[in-house]
């Protein structure tokens, strides 16, 4: 099936700003659709092709109707891996999408494509809430196709758990595996999933479709394939005990952060594969099926930037922790250094007339605030920019007022020549999406 889309047909993609959403938007545009991207603006101005779609604020069909004016079809790819504030599974995966689907019926929208999740309800509320919506969607008088993918990967970039898996595959010296790596998966390229979503809009079929690659492979085979593609030497494997991984996942779940939650961990251990005949059904109804992993990897050779991304995965939080600890230690030193030593150091300089003890204690307080701010992770780039500004001020003021600090055998001001670019690198790495 490779039908032409009628000119000026419009599709609303809800969750378009996410990783999967971006690829789906690209696939739809390639096939001739006019795409409206449903996003959360978060106070910024919307682009010409964007529509404000904050699911917390769209609880009823009537609230969705203005967004559906002139829309012929909808793709819903919105989802969350963890609940946070008003962003609950019930709201994002069930209530708001169901209101949208009912609005589609009222508005006469012709087709609804839902990106769901392959798994069992007992895996966790992430899966259960999505599948409750799937069942409710099928009961509406609306042509709807529901795609439930296995592990989704991309050559150009990664997200969430797939970023962690790529980092483990690229670990220097050995491949790190959770457990023994024998769990079965059917990885699907994000471009193939996006193409299926686009073709589903043009199909006349409805129903639930499980989406996976044409081969069932173990996690160990999947990771070896990525290590080979990244051109990381060494085939030695280090198996991580399942209990240790479970404790780490539970910790991530408790703090509400981290790349993998307990639902994903349960899905992986149980095996994340499609039912028999699922691939043939995709090919019959949509004209295509996902490609094998090796074929996708062979189509695009890896570059050094791919290795950078994978191997910086663990270095980025280590750099953040190291810088935060440097600031906190600096704060501790600033508060505990005897006043007599501070006055002796400032004696004979411009700082001697500026209440140097009060200046040192104030600087220590700023250091403590910034160190804790960086650890907490709230508005990281603002915290990092503040640190860079403070280091520049320290360097200029003390470099001019106390030039002997440049020759301090323990680093003194000279260390700032390393700290500033380290902060700049952390500022770049803090962009996670």
Strand order from edge to edge, sheet including 50-52: 50-52, 34-39, 10-14, 73-76, 111-115, 143-149, 207-211
Question: What pLDDT is stored for residue 403 in this prediction?
Answer: 75
> Could you write out the DSSP letters of every residue in 93-159?
IIIHHHHHHHHHHHHT--EEEEE---S-GGG-HHHHHHHHHHHHHHTSSSEEEEEEESSEE-SS---
DSSP element (H, E) containing 376: helix 356-376
Domain segments of the chain: what residues?
A: 10-302, 315-429
- Which distant-in-sequence residues (6+ apart) come within 8 Å of 159 by Cβ? 19, 433
CA separation for the pair 15, 28 (Å, rounded): 14
The DSSP 8-state label assigned to residue 172 in this structure reads T
The string of pLDDT tens digits covering residues 152-185 is: 999 987 787 888 899 999 999 899 999 888 999 9
Which letter does DSSP use for residue 190 in this model? H
Environment class of residue 215 by beta-carbon count within 10 Å: exposed (0-12), middle (13-18) or buried (19+)?
middle
Domain 10-302 falls under CATH 3.40.50.720: yes
pLDDT at residue 142, as a whole number = 94
Buried b (16+ CB within 10 A) or exposed e, 41-68: eeeeeeeeebbebebeebeebeebeebb
Helix and strand totals (H; E) in the chain:
17, 13
Q: Which residues pair with 209 in a beta bridge?
A: 147
Question: Would you say the pTM of this structure is higher than 0.85?
Answer: yes
CA angle 130, 135, 141 (to 5 degrees): 125
Is residue 74 within 8 Å of residue 143, measured between CB atoms?
no
Report how far residue 373's alpha carbon sits from residue 92's, in angstroms, rounded to the nearest whole number.
29
User: What does the pLDDT read at residue 5?
Assistant: 58
Residue 192 pLDDT: 97
Vertex 16: Cα angle to 292 and 299 (nearest 5): 25
Chunked into runs of 10 residues, the chain (433 residues) has average pLDDT values of 65 94 96 94 83 92 95 95 86 96 95 94 92 96 96 86 90 90 94 96 93 94 95 90 90 80 88 94 95 95 92 92 94 89 70 72 90 91 94 82 71 83 93 69
Nearest to 108 by CA among 132, 73, 156: 73
- Residue 202 to residues 134, 164, 426: CA-CA distances in angstroms? 19, 35, 44
pLDDT at 31: 94
């Amino acid at each position: 099936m490779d039908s032409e889309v009628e000119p000026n047909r419009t599709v609303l993609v809800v969750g378009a700003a996410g990783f999967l959403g971006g690829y789906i938007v690209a696939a739809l545009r390639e096939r001739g659709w006019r795409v409206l991207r449903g996003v959360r603006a978060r106070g910024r101005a919307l682009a010409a092709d964007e529509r404000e779609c904050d699911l917390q604020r769209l609880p009823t069909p009537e609230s969705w109707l203005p967004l559906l004016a002139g829309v012929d079809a909808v793709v819903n790819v919105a989802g969350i891996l963890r609940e946070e504030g008003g962003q609950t599974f019930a709201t994002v995966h069930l209530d708001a999408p169901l209101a949208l689907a009912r609005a589609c019926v009222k508005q006469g929208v012709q087709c609804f494509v839902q990106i769901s999740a392959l798994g069992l309800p007992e895996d966790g509320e992430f899966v259960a809430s999505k599948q409750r919506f799937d069942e409710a969607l099928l009961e509406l008088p609306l042509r709807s196709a529901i795609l439930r993918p296995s592990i989704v990967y991309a050559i150009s970039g990664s997200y969430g758990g797939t970023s962690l898996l790529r980092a483990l595959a690229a670990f220097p010296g050995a491949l790190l595996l959770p457990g023994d790596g024998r769990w079965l998966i059917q990885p699907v390229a994000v471009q193939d999933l996006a193409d299926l979503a686009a073709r589903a809009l043009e199909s006349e079929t409805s129903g639930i479709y499980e989406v996976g690659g044409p081969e069932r492979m173990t996690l160990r085979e999947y990771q070896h394939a990525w290590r080979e593609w990244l051109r990381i030497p060494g085939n030695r494997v280090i198996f991580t005990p399942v209990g240790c991984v479970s404790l780490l996942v539970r910790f991530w779940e408790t703090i509400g952060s981290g790349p993998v939650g307990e639902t994903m961990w349960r899905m992986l251990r149980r095996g994340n594969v499609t039912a028999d005949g699922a691939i043939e059904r995709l090919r019959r109804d949509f004209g295509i099926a996902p490609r094998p992993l090796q074929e996708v990897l062979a189509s695009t050779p890896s570059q050094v930037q791919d290795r950078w991304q994978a191997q910086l995965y663990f270095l980025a939080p280590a750099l953040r922790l190291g810088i935060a600890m440097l600031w906190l230690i600096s704060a501790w030193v600033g508060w505990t250094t005897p006043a007599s030593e501070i006055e002796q150091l400032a004696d004979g300089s411009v700082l001697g007339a500026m209440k140097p003890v009060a200046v040192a204690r104030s600087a220590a307080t700023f250091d403590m605030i910034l160190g804790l701010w960086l650890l907490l992770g709230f508005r990281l780039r603002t915290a990092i920019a503040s640190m860079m500004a403070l280091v520049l001020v320290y360097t200029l003021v003390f470099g001019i007022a106390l030039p002997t600090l440049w020759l301090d055998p323990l680093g003194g001001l000279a260390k700032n020549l390393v700290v500033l670019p380290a902060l700049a690198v952390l500022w770049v790495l803090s962009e996670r999406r």
